[in-house]
């Protein structure tokens, strides 16, 4: 049979690789700055740039690392490996270019809008609706290009790495669309379509699986391709990799509710999350061992080759994280870890160790190949490896330590039955750990700078190979499988069937969890005294979301003695029925705010926002001087109320046109009250709206108890 | 978002984890059976796919 001649184009893998490294540098730098801000709040520079305060910077950091650094890393691997595995060029270079530039545009838009406070307030899905639509379009372009390539392949069988890419693509599409359902109130402001408990479940179904299908499965595809390449030997067990694939994608999707243990989420959903999280250990460790055993009999190479060094530690970190994850989803362990620095340590073992080192290993292997040369300095790469490892340890250990320390302080009671420590005591005791953590991040970042230097030198000494010639026989039409082949090979040969099966498998868990939570009334018992927010409170809530308060404050009191004693009555599902989006948070760098309403006077909040340390000496909260200058955006009240009513919040018909009257009345009352405390402030300043919102929190239930 | 047709409660909700566990075990067994029924030579060809991309 005649062989077709064709070319592997290297331009797109090159562009994606450069983008991944560049955004990695930016994202990690922002992470280091945010880490230092927690230790030294003066670095928030609130007086000069309200855009750089921790609450706005942290989402930019997380989005940059996940979607820019890792995202471009995934695309590098896809655009390099798929053509080679399928013996065909990428289907369309034009779509590839649109994909590349579109994705970079999304990243830039994301960074700018987040810094300017345009956010949906849902973690890792903070981008506003026009960008969400753009993401969907570019994702479809990517999918068309990938499937076009798969459908025009010259190798009938799809190697397992491609399965991981396909499943990742389809699942991310599903997660993104379901979680981004939102009602626009204006061009850059929208409200989540779901409220309270339901919003929380959808969000963590998304959030957990963003970790699974953006940070894990595509990188497993990367592992199954680049690890055998670098070691120059096939994967330890191809059979195991197939079991790994199917069990992993089946189980992962169910595990989301483990982010909501002991919250107001119905108990049965919490239990499901726990059961499936525990089961996840098996496929995850199967995958880890498969990666490590690939090096059996080749461990001497690991001593020499920096690429393999990075891969070994990356896979080990994957194993550690995927053991730790199931442990964290046990309710008794989660009681300690949730809202604490433990979670932060856990995700950074994954992000720095697994994603970081996997990417670095790939780059050290790939860049010399693309420029047809040797790595400029193996020694420097080895030094990067050691510095990076040290950085991870310096990052993680203080975080583990501080989480236990704060847990024991948080739950300490005096013999008289009083809480032994104020929240601020605990904050002060963990600040030194934050400083060490920031140092760990800096060390890791230095390693990245060394890598960039090394790779630039490498590229300089070689010449870029635009395209590589290859030849292969085309696929036979009317293929008949040999008589001894098994039914499974049908799935392996049919990419669209594989796509559909993957979607069915990942959709199952979502259906089991989401539908009952939405359709069963018992899951969200209504509380008669819970009323919609007043227009002023709604404006205040939007300021709360804009400033990213949820990055440090939770609004969900768990049913523990030490939480109830500290924050008040534990939270009920029915209290959040008008919360579009929910603001339960996932981390308590500051105290819980679910029942902050009425705890302090208006003047306390006024002074606290102006200068937190004046009310709480030792506080690490940024100051918010801009709230005292900016006026409330009253022009938006109408469309906001309208959007909320469309989502089912029972504002009376036509209320939007008179809502501002109520807003002004309530604002004047607060301003007058402040005046009695000798605080002069105009009633149209943003601080008034924020105070109104904070004073409302948790009050509905208090009224009922009276 | 409004839902007009609410179920009032889920009866026997404890069946959910068990049902899903069974579902997974069945799925797992099928995949395992499938995987071990693949021909050895075929597996060897498949696992070497990343290594012979020069042809």
pLDDT tens per residue across span A516-555: 777 777 677 788 889 999 999 999 999 999 999 999 999 9
**What is the Cα–Cα distance from A350 to A335, expressed in whole angstroms?**
21
A393 touches chain B (CB under 8 A): no
A64 and A74 Cβ atoms separated by less than 8 Å = no
Q: Find out whether A651 and A645 touch, Cβ atoms under 8 Å.
A: yes
In this prediction, the answer to ipTM > 0.95 reads no
- Does domain A535-705 bear CATH number 2.40.50.140? no
Give the C-alpha separation, A162 to A294, whole Å: 19
Enter the DSSP assignment of A475: P
Percent of chain A residues past pLDDT 70, beyond the cut: 98
| Phi-psi category of residue A678: left, alpha or beta, with phi > 0 → left and psi -120 to 50 → alpha | left
* Three-state DSSP state, A587: strand
The reply to whether residue A518 touches residue B9, judged by beta carbons under 8 angstroms, is: no
Average of per-residue pLDDT across A42-59 = 92
| A566 and B CB contact within 8 Å | no
The CA distance from A332 to A105, in Å, is: 43
Query: Is B27 near chain A, with CB under 8 Å?
Result: yes
Q: Where are the beta strands (DSSP E) in chain B?
A: none
- Judge whether residue A323 has pLDDT over 60: yes
Domain extent listing, chain A: 295-474, 535-705
Residue A256 has a pLDDT of 87
Q: In the numeric block, which tokens belong to residue A220?
A: 């497993």
CB neighbours of B35 closer than 8 A, spacing ≥ 6? A239, A240, A242, A243, A488
Highest mean pLDDT among A471-475, A507-511, A677-681: A677-681
Contacts of A157 in chain B (CB under 8 A): 45-46, 49
Answer yes or no: pTM beyond 0.90. Answer: yes
- In A, which residues are within 8 Å of B40 by CB distance? none
Average pLDDT over residues A674-678: 95
B45 CB neighbours in chain A (<8 A) are 157
pLDDT band at A486 (very low <50, low <70, confident <90, very high): low
Q: How far is CA A664 from the centre of its chain?
A: 38
Contact call for residues A539 and A666 (beta carbons, < 8 A): no
- What does the buried/exposed string (b/e) look like for A556-568 if buried means 16 or more CB atoms within 10 Å of the residue's CB? bbbeeebbeebbb
| CA dist., res. A69 & res. A28, Å (int) | 9
Burial environment of residue A612 by CB neighbours within 10 A (0 to 12, 13 to 18, 19 or more): buried
How confident is the model over A389-440, as pLDDT tens digits?
999 999 999 999 999 999 999 999 999 999 999 999 999 999 999 999 999 9
Q: Is A8 in a helix, a strand, or coil?
A: strand
Count of CB atoms within 10 A of residue A706's CB?
Answer: 5
pLDDT at position B55: 43
pLDDT tens by residue, A183-202 = 999 999 999 999 999 999 99
| pLDDT category of residue B4 using cuts at 50, 70 and 90 | very low
Identify the burial level of A186 via C-beta atoms within 10 angstroms of its C-beta, where 0-12 means exposed, 13-18 middle and 19 or more buried. middle
**How wide is the angle at C-alpha A586 spanned by C-alphas A685 and A215, nearest 5°?**
120
Q: Contact, A6 vs A88, CB < 8 A?
A: yes
Pairing of strands A189-192, A4-9: unpaired
**E strand segments, A496-646:** none
Does residue B1 have a pLDDT over 60?
A: no
When CB atoms are compared, the residue of A155, A471, A522 closest to B10 is: A522
* Any A CB within 8 A of B1 CB: yes
CB A47 within 8 A of CB A333: no
Taking the Cβ of residue B52 and every Cβ of chain A, the question of whether any pair is shorter than 8 Å is answered with no
pLDDT at residue A160 is higher than 80: yes
The fourth-level CATH superfamily of domain A295-474 is: Cytochrome c oxidase-like, subunit I domain (1.20.210.10)
With a CB cutoff of 8 Å and minimum separation 6, the contacts of A84 are: A8, B50, B53
A472 touches chain B (CB under 8 A): yes
| d(C-alpha A557, C-alpha A564), whole Å | 7
């Amino acid at each position: 049979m005649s062989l077709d001649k064709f070319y592997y184009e290297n331009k797109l893998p090159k562009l994606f690789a450069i983008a991944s490294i560049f955004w990695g540098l930016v994202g990690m730098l922002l992470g280091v700055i945010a880490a230092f801000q927690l230790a030294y709040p003066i670095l928030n520079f609130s007086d000069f740039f309200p855009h750089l305060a921790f609450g706005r910077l942290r989402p930019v950091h997380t989005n940059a690392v996940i979607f820019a650094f890792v995202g471009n890393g995934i695309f590098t691997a896809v655009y390099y490996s798929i053509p080679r595995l399928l013996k065909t060029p990428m289907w369309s270079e034009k779509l590839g270019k649109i994909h590349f530039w579109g994705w970079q545009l999304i990243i830039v838009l994301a960074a700018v809008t987040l810094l300017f406070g345009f956010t949906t307030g849902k973690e890792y899905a903070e981008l506003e609706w026009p960008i969400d639509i753009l993401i969907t379009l570019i994702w479809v372009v990517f999918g068309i290009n990938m499937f076009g390539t798969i459908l025009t392949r010259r190798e009938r069988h799809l190697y397992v790495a491609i399965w991981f890419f396909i499943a990742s693509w389809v699942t991310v599409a599903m997660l993104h669309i379901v979680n981004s359902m939102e009602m626009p109130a204006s061009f850059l402001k929208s409200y989540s379509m779901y409220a309270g408990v339901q919003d929380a479940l959808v969000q963590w179904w998304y959030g957990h699986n963003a970790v699974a299908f953006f940070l894990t499965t595509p990188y497993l595809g990367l592992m199954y391709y680049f690890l055998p390449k670098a070691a120059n030997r096939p994967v330890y067990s191809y059979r195991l990799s197939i079991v790994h694939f199917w069990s992993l994608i089946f189980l992962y999707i169910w595990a989301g509710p483990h982010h909501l243990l002991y919250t107001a989420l119905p108990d049965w959903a919490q239990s499901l999350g726990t059961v499936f999280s525990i089961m996840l250990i098996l496929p995850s460790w199967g995958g880890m061992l498969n990666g490590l055993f690939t090096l059996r009999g080749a461990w001497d190479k690991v001593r020499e080759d920096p690429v393999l060094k990075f891969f070994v530690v990356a896979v080990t970190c994957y194993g550690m994280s995927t053991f730790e994850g199931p442990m964290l989803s046990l309710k008794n362990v989660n009681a300690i870890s949730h809202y604490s620095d433990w979670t932060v340590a856990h995700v950074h073992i994954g992000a720095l160790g697994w994603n970081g080192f996997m990417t670095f290993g790939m780059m050290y292997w790939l860049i010399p190949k693309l420029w047809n040369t040797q790595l400029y300095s193996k020694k420097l790469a080895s030094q990067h490896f050691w510095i990076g490892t040290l950085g991870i340890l310096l990052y993680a250990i203080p975080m583990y330590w501080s989480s236990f320390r704060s847990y024991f302080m948080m739950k300490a009671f005096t013999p008289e039955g009083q809480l032994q420590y104020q929240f601020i005591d605990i904050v002060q005791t963990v600040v030194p750990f934050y400083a060490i953590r920031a140092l760990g991040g800096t060390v890791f970042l230095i390693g990245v700078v060394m890598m960039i230097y090394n790779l630039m030198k490498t590229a300089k000494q070689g010449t870029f190979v635009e395209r590589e010639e290859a030849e292969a026989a085309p696929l036979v039409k009317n293929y008949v499988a040999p008589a001894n082949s098994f039914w499974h090979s049908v799935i392996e040969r049919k990419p669209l069937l594989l796509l559909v099966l993957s979607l069915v498998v990942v959709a199952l868990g979502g259906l089991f969890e989401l539908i009952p939570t939405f359709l069963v009334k018992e899951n969200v018992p209504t509380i008669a005294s819970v009323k919609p927010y007043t227009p002023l409170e709604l404006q205040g809530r939007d300021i709360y979301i804009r400033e990213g308060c949820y990055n440090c404050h939770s609004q969900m009191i768990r049913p523990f003695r030490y939480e109830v004693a500290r924050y008040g009555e534990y939270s009920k599902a029915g209290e959040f029925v008008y919360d579009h989006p929910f603001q339960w948070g996932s981390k308590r760098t500051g105290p819980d705010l679910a029942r902050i309403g009425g705890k302090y006077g208006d003047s306390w909040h006024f002074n606290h926002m102006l200068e937190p340390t004046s009310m709480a000496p030792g506080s690490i909260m940024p100051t918010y001087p801009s709230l005292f200058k900016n006026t409330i955006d009253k022009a938006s009240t109408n469309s906001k109320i309208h959007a909320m009513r469309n989502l089912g919040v029972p504002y009376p018909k036509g209320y939007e046109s008179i809502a501002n009257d109520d807003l002004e009345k309530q604002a004047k009352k607060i301003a007058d009250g402040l005046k009695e405390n000798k605080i002069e402030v105009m009633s149209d300043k943003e601080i008034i709206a924020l105070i109104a919102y904070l004073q409302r929190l948790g009050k509905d239930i208090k009224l009922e108890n009276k | 978002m409004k839902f007009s047709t609410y179920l009032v409660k889920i009866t026997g909700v404890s069946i959910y984890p068990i049902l899903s566990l069974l579902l997974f075990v069945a799925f797992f067994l099928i995949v395992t059976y499938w995987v071990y029924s693949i021909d050895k030579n075929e597996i060897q060809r498949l696992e070497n796919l990343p290594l012979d991309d020069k042809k």
